[in-house]
Amino acid sequence: EKQGFKHFMLKEIYEQPGVVRASLEAYLDSEWTPDSPSNPVRLGLPDRFYEELEHIQIVACGTSWHAGLVGCYLLEQLAEIPTQVHYASEFRYAPTPLMPNTLTIGVTQSGETADTLSALEMEKRRRLDREPKFAARMLGITNRTDSTLGHMVSDLIDTRAGIEIGVAATKTFSAQLVAFYCLALDLAVRRRTLTPERLGAIVEGLRQLPAQIEAILEVQERYIGELSHQFAETQDFIFLGRGINYPIALEGALKLKEISYIHAEGYPAGEMKHGPIALLDAKVPVVAIAVPGLVYEKVLSNAQEAKARDAQLIGVTAMNDDHAAEVFDDQLPIPTVDELLSPLLTVIPVQFLAYHIAAHRGLDVDQPRNLAKSVTVE
Ligand code: M6R
């Protein structure tokens, strides 16, 4: 049931505040305050997961791989655990040399993606009969606990987004991000890598996200709907981001190509001058994610380099950012938040943009050509 929305994808975009709220309620102790001595996170994972943990490796495909990249950033920056993210299809045939005390996380909303399943299977197999420090520790992050993954891995984080029908993943991505925020915080508390003040600020910031996503949905849909008319003939798009928003640039590009069939590339903004800048001219719009934080100034100057090549510049920026207003032709504003929490907000405008461009072109948004909801062949 589309409940009055034109497409399932649009309905699922609108479900995100509720999904994020429900996941936070499930994984975070609602009574917890910064004065509480306890761990605010409740993932219900067994103790053996945490013992002498030295490395994490994440395997996934597509949008779930992008969630893994955000997860990697969080696990390294918050919990200080060396983490690697692999495309499942690559890891399967060229795995990292076996590392001890390693947690392997498979991220798949469907729990049926063949590449991800076979990468996990291989990892399990090569760790059989090894000394205890090499024993497999596997965690699945999935939206379908009754899936093949659910039966293969004994420990799961259930992302609780409800069934997603649109082929383009939206709400399940947000739910995967919440799972990674909570896992990274859980590990950070256990490893004592955060000050109590920082921990309190992040938990408080997470709790505010659902209302902030609601605010973006309310303000932006009309604007982006109208903006998308300008791209009726556009053939290429570039998405730029840095740091924790680099994966959001990749996600914006993937959403757009998947449902609008426009060629789009996501790049870490600083890499643009090392080649892709040659693509730019007035016909190639550039979407840059430039929110306050560590890399803000750098992204703005990378965006300016694009502007000097006549590219139309669209910025996902903080609200009331006058400095950014001077740089960008169009702004898709989000509330000002800690940069670390921003992906759950910056992803909304790029989802909307992809949706509206595709819908405006009259395409079958929920069932794009050549794609299936889950890819069950390797
Ligand atoms: O079910 P999974 O999360 O394992 O699916 C992985 C990819 O096939 C999937 O994310 C794909 O990239 C989406 N259609 C993206 O919107």
pLDDT at 308: 87
239 C-alpha vs ligand 1 centroid, how far in Å?
19
pLDDT at 375: 85
Interface confidence: ipTM more than 0.95:
yes
Dihedral over alpha carbons 342, 348, 354, 357 (to 10 degrees): -130
130 C-alpha vs ligand 1 centroid, how far in Å?
33
Cβ of 147 below 6 Å from ligand 1? no
pLDDT at 353: 97
Give the confidence band of 286 by pLDDT, cuts at 50, 70, 90.
Answer: very high
pLDDT at 75: 98
- Which ligand 1 atom minimizes the distance to the CA of 60? 4
Mean pLDDT of 75-84: 98
Give the confidence band of 24 by pLDDT, cuts at 50, 70, 90.
Answer: very high
**What is the model's pTM?**
0.97
Q: Is the dihedral of CA 119, 146, 110, 142 positive or negative?
A: negative
262 C-alpha vs ligand 1 centroid, how far in Å?
18
Longest dimension (CA), the chain: 61
* CA 48 distance to own-chain centroid: 27
Pairing of strands 102-108, 286-290: unpaired
Give the confidence band of 106 by pLDDT, cuts at 50, 70, 90.
Answer: very high
pLDDT digits 0-9 by tens, 205-244: 999 999 999 999 999 989 999 999 999 899 999 999 999 9
Rounded to the nearest 5 percent, the helix, strand and coil shares of the chain are: 50, 15, 35
What mean pLDDT, rounded, does the chain reach?
95
Is residue 300 pLDDT above 90, yes or no?
yes
Residue 105 to residue 116: CA distance in whole angstroms? 10
pLDDT digits 0-9 by tens, 45-77: 999 899 999 999 999 999 999 999 999 999 999
pLDDT digits 0-9 by tens, 115-157: 999 999 999 999 998 999 999 999 999 999 999 999 999 899 9
Q: Is the dihedral of CA 278, 281, 285, 287 positive or negative?
A: positive
Is residue 44 pLDDT above 90, yes or no?
yes
Is residue 15 pLDDT above 90, yes or no?
yes
pLDDT at 374: 81
Cβ of 148 below 6 Å from ligand 1? no
pLDDT at 367: 86
Give the confidence band of 370 by pLDDT, cuts at 50, 70, 90.
Answer: confident
Is residue 364 pLDDT above 90, yes or no?
no
How is 93-123 classified by DSSP, letter by letter? TSPPPP-SSEEEEEEESSS--HHHHHHHHHH
pLDDT digits 0-9 by tens, 339-359: 999 999 999 999 999 999 999
Residue 86 to residue 55: CA distance in whole angstroms? 14
Cβ of 375 below 6 Å from ligand 1? yes
Report DSSP state, residue 134: G
Residue 303 to residue 330: CA distance in whole angstroms? 12
pLDDT at 365: 86
HEC profile of 314-375: EEEEECCCHHHHHHCCEEEEECCCCHHHCHHHHHHHHHHHHHHHHHHCCCCCCCCCCCCCCC
Is residue 174 pLDDT above 90, yes or no?
yes
pLDDT at 130: 94
Cβ of 61 below 6 Å from ligand 1? yes
pLDDT digits 0-9 by tens, 180-202: 999 999 999 999 999 999 999 99
Mean pLDDT of 263-267: 97
Quick one: tokens of 359? 């819908």
118 contacts 124 by C-beta, under 8 angstroms: no
